[in-house]
């Protein structure tokens, strides 16, 4: 058990610093883009720490990949994979899923 701020709170603090203080001082387009990428990366880490979805375990993912490569595709593979990938997107880019609504 660590003292506060928690890992999540530290990520939030850095994300807020970058987006509300740092970004406005960056003039170079390339650096501005990289700063936005960095903010995005912190957001991914923050959502992952906060997530409590059970989802597929590491062994299940590995086994499913192995079976599909071998041509032994489970009947429900498509549906299982769609949910598995949607769960990854809820962490990496939740807005992306809105493009399919």
Partner 1 sequence: MDAEGSALLVRRASRGVIHAATLSLEDEFHVLEAAAEAGVKVPRPVAYLGELGGREAFAMERVEGETIGRRIARNPPPGLDVQLADELAKIHAIPPERLPFLGSGDILERFEGELDSVGEPHPAIEYGLWWLREHRPPPLADVVTHGDFRIGNVVVSEGGLEYLLDWEFAHLSDPREDLAWPLVRAWRFGADDRRLGGVGEVAPYLERYAERTGRAVAEEELYWWEVLGNVKWATGCLTQCRRHLNGLDRSVEYAVLGRMAAEMEYELLDLIESR
- Rule CB under 8 A: which residues touch partner 1? 34, 37-38, 40-41, 44, 61-62, 64-66, 68-69, 71, 73, 77-78, 81-82, 84-86, 88-89, 91-93, 96-97, 99-100
Handedness of CA 41, 44, 50, 55 (dihedral sign): negative
Where are the alpha helices (H) located in the chain, listed in sequence order?
A: 7-17, 29-50, 58-69, 77-92
Compute φ and ψ for 74, nearest 5 degrees: -60, 150
Q: Which is nearer to partner 1, 51 or 82 (CB)?
A: 82
Smallest gap from Cβ 63 to partner 1, in A, equals 8
Smallest gap from Cβ 51 to partner 1, in A, equals 13
């Amino acid at each position: 058990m660590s003292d506060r701020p928690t890992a999540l709170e530290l990520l939030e603090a850095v994300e807020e610093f970058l987006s509300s203080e740092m970004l406005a001082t960056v003039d170079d387009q390339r650096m501005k883009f990289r700063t936005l990428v960095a903010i995005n990366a912190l957001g991914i880490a923050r959502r992952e720490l906060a997530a409590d979805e059970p989802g597929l375990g590491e062994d299940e993912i590995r086994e499913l990949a192995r079976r599909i490569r071998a041509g032994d595709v489970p009947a429900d593979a498509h549906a299982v994979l769609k949910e598995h990938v949607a769960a990854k997107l809820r962490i990496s880019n939740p807005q992306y899923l809105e493009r399919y609504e």
